[in-house]
Structure 1
Amino acid sequence: MHNPTESKPRWERRKDARPQELLAAALDLFVSRGYAATRLEDVARSAGVSKGTLYLYFANKEELFKAVVRDAIVQPIGEAEMDFAAIDGHSADLLRTLLMRWWDKVGATKASGITKLMIAEAANFPELMQFYNEEVIARGNALIANILTRGVARGEFRAVDPDVMMPVLVAPVLMLMLWSQSPQLCAGATIDPYAYLAAYIDTTLRGLRPASAPEGAPYCMPAAPATGLHNK
């Protein structure tokens, strides 16, 4: 029997799915083409809706981009902020989990391409850079700085300046994200991101070990298992 809904346009059949489909299509195009070259009509076409339908949800390309960033990156940051506020574990565990969780939720996904996009196009779109600084960079950096401050206060880390150490910890993860988006930067080498992160985190935690800490755990723990907090 003929199903009358089959003759309807996709945007009529799947009204509830429209915003998420638009965000997914926009993320793909922003990452592959860049911000300047992405057109709203192409986003609408990729999502299977009309351009007019897109404007029902997003006033312009800037608002669409902000919605993509909030959905793909800001939301995981907010989840991490809430989770870590409720945890009373060792600061080394928290730092390891935060870094692995960031990779699982952002670095290993298409969202990592947003970082490359911002580096390439920020100078041409200062309003977007301000938005990205406030909602992504500032909050992400604060998460790491707070864990460092916590660890020092509890005697779990040696006395480091969180404002100095925070960018030292962020830079290798950003580089890994850029490598994942531009394999040619690796000069033909194959990088296993989880092996990279395990080595980086182990080196970092050894460097943060207070002089009074005994050898061994928690600074030499294996990487968190797949069922750990970072997969929530």
Structure 2
Amino acid sequence: MSLSKLMGERSDEGQAKRERRKEARPGELLDAALDLFVEKGFAATRAEEVAARAGVSKGTLFLYFPSKEELFKAVVRENISGRFAEWNAEFEAFEGTTADMLRYCMRVWWERIGATRASGITKLIISEARNFPDIAAFYQQEVIRPGTELVRRILQRGVDSGEFRALDMEYATFSVTAPMIFLIMMKHSLGACAPQDYPLDPERYVTSQVETLLRGLCVRPEDQPA
């Protein structure tokens, strides 16, 4: 093989790698940003750190995301809020009882969000909302409101079907979300530095919480009119 042909093949290979690298950059940046936001918080994370971890220049980062705030919003949409269409579609297609739906909802929430790196975003918001009201308002709009509405729809389904007793919907949703927030905060605070044998198994915790909730939610035989 001639030297010119060999150099040409290497040039083509290098160009292909650069093109693949360019296509991969937004995803790599979001992964790096998620890691750093969870590790260090919003305030302490610097744009150049995100770029360095993703293996690109700071200029490349700002080509895709013009500010740290926009980068954070993209991370939230990629990992949490962008999935509500999928979750609402699952709600519409679910054919079991509402009790089974609530069990499924809380278990799947842990598997898809709570057990992943994305759960650290919740702790970040709780810790830094007061100092960054704009990102707190964004999280309220993109995550808290649609999440609360989905939980409300689940509970209302149970009431409408006669499975659940009448509820104060404005507050009943907290009975579902509060235990999950507690689990996240334990995971990213005390649980992260407690001994390995710390007695909090997430799956057992979720099962215990949902079964306790259902004992209060479900209509019992003695509640039925005579």
Same fold (TM over 0.5): yes
Mean CA deviation greater in 161-170 or 138-147? 161-170
Does 1:93 find its partner at 2:100? yes
> What amino acid maps onto 2:217 in structure 1?
L
What is the TM-score of this pair, normalised by structure 1?
0.85
Distance verdict in 2 for CA 1:213–1:53, change over 3 Å: farther
Instruction: Give the paired residue count.
Output: 214
2:199 aligned with 1:190: yes
Alignment counterpart, residue 129 of structure 1, candidates 115, 127, 136: 136
1:77 aligns with 2:84: yes
- Relative to the length of structure 2, the TM-score reads 0.87
1:203 to 203, 212, 219: 212
- The aligned residue for residue 226 of structure 1 is none
Contact 2:162 2:219 in 1 (8 A): yes
Which ranges of structure 1 fall in alignment gaps of 5 or more residues? 215-232
- Amino acid paired to 2:132: F
* Residues 1:7 and 1:101: Cα distance change in structure 2 (over 3 Å): same
Evaluate the alpha carbon distance shift between residue 110 and residue 213 of structure 1 in structure 2; reply closer, same or farther with a 3 A threshold: farther
Higher helix share: 2
Contact 1:81 1:143 in 2 (8 A): yes
Residue 35 of structure 1 aligns to a residue in which SS? coil
Greater than 6 Å deviation, 4+ residue runs: 5-8
Question: Highest CA radius of gyration, 1 or 2?
Answer: 2
Identity of aligned residues (%): 50
Q: Is the 8 A contact 1:23 1:64 kept in 2?
A: yes
Q: Which residue of 1 aligns with 2:31?
A: 24
1-side partners of 2:111 and 2:193: how far apart? 21
Report deviation, 1:112: 0.6
1:222 is matched with which residue?
A: none
Match of 2:3 in 1: none
Q: CA RMSD in A?
A: 2.3
